[in-house]
Chain A
Amino acid sequence: MSAIVVESVSKRYEIGRRPEHDTLRDTLSHGAKNLWSRLRRRTTGAAGEDDFWALRDVSFTVEPGEVVGIIGRNGAGKSTLLKILSRITEPTLGRVRLRGRVASLLEVGTGFHPELTGRENIFLNGAILGMSRSEIRRKFDEIIAFAEVDRFLDTPVKRYSSGMYVRLAFAIAAHLEPEILIVDEVLAVGDLEFQKKCVGKMKQVAGGGRTVLFVSHNLAAVQNLCTSAIWLRQGRIAQQSAVRDCIAAYSSEGNRSAAFATTTGSKPRITSVRVNDLALADGALEVEVGFASPFAFAPVVGVILYTKFGQPISGGNGRMAGEHWRPIPTNNGTITARIAALPLHSDTYRVSVWLGDAAMDYDEKRDVAEFDFVARDFRPRAPSTDVIGPIDLPWQWSLSTK
C-alpha cells in the first residue's frame, strides 16, 4: 500500500485576486462584473484569463519508507505541492491519499513568539506541529540537548541570536515522529556545523523507515538524503527517477547553464556558461565560462550579476583584477569567476557574461543564466528582497541613550 498517492492534482490561483486581499471598494465597484464572470465560469467551467496554474496534472506515488526529493526552480510549484499535501490548501482538481500520521515542516519556528521564553516556545511550537503535551515533555531534554540552548531556556527568544533561534526551532521539528514527514527548505539555515547535524538527524529520520518528502534548492543535500526525486517544472512533473539521474537532468537543463554552437568563426566565442549548483549550496557563486578561439589569446572574462528584475548588482572582469589576473595565451578553456561567500539574500538572480582580452571585446551573452540562491544565514522575519534589496551587508547595531 503506497504511503502517498497523488492523482492528477492541479492548483489554480486567480492572479487578479490573489496577491492582495480585496478591498471592499473594489468588490463593490467590480461586483457586478465579477459576479457575471464568476457565474459564467461556473456554468462553462472555463478558466479565466487571469488564472495561474501553480500545479498542472501532477501524479505520483511514494512507497512507505521512501525518501523523495522534490527539486525545481522558484515558482515551479514545489511549495504549492507541499501545501496541498500538508492540508493547508486544497487542490483545485485531482486528489491525494495519505496513509499514516503526517507532519509537515514548511518553515523552522512556525509560531515562535518572540516574547515567550525558549521553554515556552518549545511547548507552543510542539503543539503547533502536532505533538501532544506529554510527547513534548518526554522529549524535552533531548530537544534542548540537540539545540544546545539549555542556558537560555528561560530567556525570551527575541534575545536569541539567529543561530540559537534556528537551532531551537529545528530541534523541536527534528523530534517529530510521524509516519510521513514533509519538509520544505529548512536545512539551508544555520551555520555549517549545525547544518551537518541537521542532515545527520534527517538521515536518521529517513533511515528509520519513515516516508519523507523533501524540498530543497540544496542539491547536495537532496542527493545525500533521498533515494529518488521528482523534478517539477512550471507546475508539471518534468522527470521522476532515481535521485542521481533526476539531479543530473535538472542541472543540465534550464538557465543555470547554457551551451552555444561552436562553429569556428573568425574570433573567440563563448561556448558555455554554467553556474555551479554545488558551489551555490555552499554559499559560493561560481560562474564557469567556456570559450574557444581560432587563434591563441589571453582571455579575459567579465561577469555581471543582476537581480531577478534585471538591475545590476555587481560585476567584475579580469581587466579590473590587476596583478591577480595574468592569463597565458590559449585557444580554448574555461574561466571560473568565483565569489567565496556571496553576500546576498535568498532570491533569484541573473547573470550576463562577456569575453575579451586586454584590448578587444569578442563576445557577450546577456542574461544567459538564472539561478536561485538560498542564503546561509537565517534571518527570522526578514522582509522581502523587493523591499530591502538583494544585498546582505553586515549591519551592526548599537544603542546609546541620553
Chain B
Amino acid sequence: MNHAASEPGVPVELLLEAGRADAHYWRDLWRFRELLGFLAWRDVKVRYKQAVLGAAWALIQPAITLVIFTFVFGRLANMPSGGVPYPLLVLAGLLPWQLFSGAATGASNSIVGNSHLISKVYFPRLVAPLSSLAVALVDFAFVLALFFATALWFGASNPAARIFATPTWHLLALPVFVAFALLLALGAGLWLASLMVKFRDFRFIVPFILQVGAFISPVGFRTDYYPNWRALLALNPLTGIIGGFRWCLLGGDQSLDLLTLAYAVVLTSLLLATGLWYFRKTERRFADII
C-alpha cells in the first residue's frame, strides 16, 4: 500500500509510468519508517524466539572464533600485540568484523528473503536492507558486552595488562565507527541484494567472500607493525574501521592511522553511492523477476 501525502480532504495525485524517476522516493522512505521499524523488530524477535539458547548464539560464534584466532595468530604465528593481551586484541577486531559481516549478509539476503512481501505490497525497497541491519546491531551489542567482560577480567587479573584493558575517552568515538561499519556493510549489501535477485549464485558467493575477508582483514593481527604492507592493507576499507575500533576500545597509547582511515572513508562512500545507484536502478524490476 502506498500512502500518498495524507492531509485529509486533499487527495494527491500519483502518476505511475515506465522508467519514471520517482521524485517522492525519499519522502516515501521516511513515511515508511514505521514499517522499517516493524521489519527490524520482526527479524530480531524471530531470531531469538526460535533458538533454544537464544542470545547465547550471538556469543558462541565470536567466542569460538576468538579462541581460534588467538591461538593461530597469537601463539602459532606469534604475531606482535604491543603488550595488549592477545584475546583482547582479537576481540576488538572481531567486533567490527562481526558487525560488518552480519550486516552485509543480512542486507544481501533481505530482498530475496522478503520476496513474498516484494511481490505483494509496495514499499520503497530500500526498507528491506535497512531493516536487516538491526539484527546485526543487536548481535553486536552482545559481543560488545563480551568485550567489556573480558577487558574487566584481564584488568583485574593481570596488572601488566590493566592499562590496555581500561578504555579511555576514545570510547566516545565508538558510535561513529559503528555507523561507519554499518554504512560499509550497507554499500556492499545493496550491491549483493540487487545481484542476488537476478543471480541466485550470489547466495553461495557471499559466504565465501566473507570467509576470505575474515583472514585478509586485520581481525587476528594488528597492522601497525607492518609498514611495508600498509598501502596494500589500506585498500581494504575494513582495515581503517578495525583500526578505529581498536583505537576506541583499547587503552594504552593506541594510535589512529589517519591515512588508512581516509582510504576507508573514500572507499565506503564510493561503495555506498554506487550501491544505492544500482539498487535504485534495479529495484523497479524486483517484483518481475523475483
Contact = CB atoms under 8 A, between A and B. Distances in A.
B14 A98 contact: yes
A24 B203 CA distance: 11
A130 interface: yes
Nearest to A105: B1
Given A116-B42, A116-B45, A21 B14 contact: no
Contact of B19 (A90, A113, A128): A90
A129 B38 CA distance: 12
B208 interface: no
A132 B46 contact: no
A39 interface: no
A103 interface: yes
Nearest to A85: B16
Interface residues of B, number: 42
Interface in B112-167: 116-123
A115 B197 contact: no
A110 B45 contact: no
Interface of B: 1-4, 6, 11-20, 34-35, 37-38, 42, 45-46, 49-50, 116-123, 197-201, 284, 287-290
B219 to A, nearest CB: 29
B204 to A, nearest CB: 10
A85 B35 CA distance: 21
- Specify which of B11, B50, B118 lies most central, judged by the most chain A CB atoms within 10 Å of its CB: B11
Contacts of A124: 38, 42
Given A97-B13, A116-B42, A120-B45, A23 B18 contact: no
A96 interface: yes
Chain B residues touching A, majority SS = mixed
Given A91-B17, A111-B117, A133 B1 contact: no
Contacts of A133: 34
B93 to A, nearest CB: 32
Contacts of A91: 16-18
Interface of A: 13, 17-18, 21-25, 27, 83-104, 106-107, 110-111, 113, 115-116, 120, 123-124, 127-130, 132-133, 176, 178-179
A110 B117 contact: yes
B287 A130 contact: no
B119 to A, nearest CB: 7
A86 B121 contact: yes
- Specify which of B1, B18, B42, B117 lies most central, judged by the most chain A CB atoms within 10 Å of its CB: B1
Nearest 6 CB-CB pairs, A to B? Answer: A130-B1, A87-B122, A95-B17, A100-B11, A127-B38, A96-B16
Contact of A98 (B16, B20, B200, B287): B16
Given A90-B19, A96-B15, A110 B121 contact: yes
A99 B244 CA distance: 51
B18 A93 contact: yes
Given A87-B122, A89-B288, A110-B121, A98 B13 contact: yes
A129 B174 CA distance: 37
B16 A87 contact: yes
Nearest to B123: A128
A390 to B, nearest CB: 23
A95 B15 contact: yes
B228 to A, nearest CB: 37
Contacts of B6: 101
A132 to B, nearest CB: 6
A372 to B, nearest CB: 20
A128 B12 contact: no
B258 to A, nearest CB: 39
Nearest to B35: A127
A86 B14 CA distance: 11
B289 A18 contact: yes
Nearest to A106: B120
Contacts of A85: 16
B116 to A, nearest CB: 7
